[in-house]
Amino acid sequence: MMVADVIIHDLKWEGVNGLSTLIKKAMHGTNNIFDDEDCCPLSVTFTLMNDPEIQTLNKNFRQKDKPTNVLSFPDGEPDDNGRLHLGDIAIAFETLTRESKEQDISFKNHLSHLIVHGLLHLYGYDHEDDSEADEMESLEIEILKDMGIKNPYI
């Protein structure tokens, strides 16, 4: 079982109806793919922010001085409640909104995709080369399909 701490840094996120339910659904969908009942309890922290904040993180940690949609920071240490803290995920409201419009997909479906994408990074998946990207995208497509969300890559 995974629990989430959600930290809202930008009030625009307060206007997203059903945000907590959406996060839980994306977490549940991602965890179902691994189906590891023997694993210890897990935790993750979501920080919902704006473009300037995520740009600072992107510059400091990836040396890219521009906003991005999602960043993941794996941890793997126990939290204060004895759960294995997978890590932290930061998501930028403005970039998410812009990409949703550009790709003609709903804000909530794109947010679900970014949550799944971020969680897969915390589980150790990456997209540094074509083979890794194909594997990660296949998992994303499968998880999102199970959530009733169409393939975001077509």
Interval 43-95: pLDDT, tens: 999 999 999 999 999 999 999 999 999 999 999 888 888 889 999 999 999 99
The CA distance from 153 to 52, in Å, is 27
Euclidean distance between CA atoms 136 and 110, whole angstroms? 16
What pLDDT is attached to residue 44?
Answer: 96
Q: What is the mean pLDDT of residues 135-144?
A: 97
The pTM (predicted TM-score) of the whole model is 0.94
The ranges assigned to domains in the chain are 2-146
The pLDDT confidence band at residue 37, using thresholds 50, 70 and 90, is low
Helix axis angle, 107-122 to 93-102, nearest 10°: 120
Task: Count CA atoms within 13 Å of residue 154 on its CB side.
Answer: 6
2-146 CATH pick, 3.20.20.60, 3.40.390.30, 3.20.10.10, 3.40.50.1100? 3.40.390.30
Confidence band of 38 (pLDDT split at 50, 70, 90): low
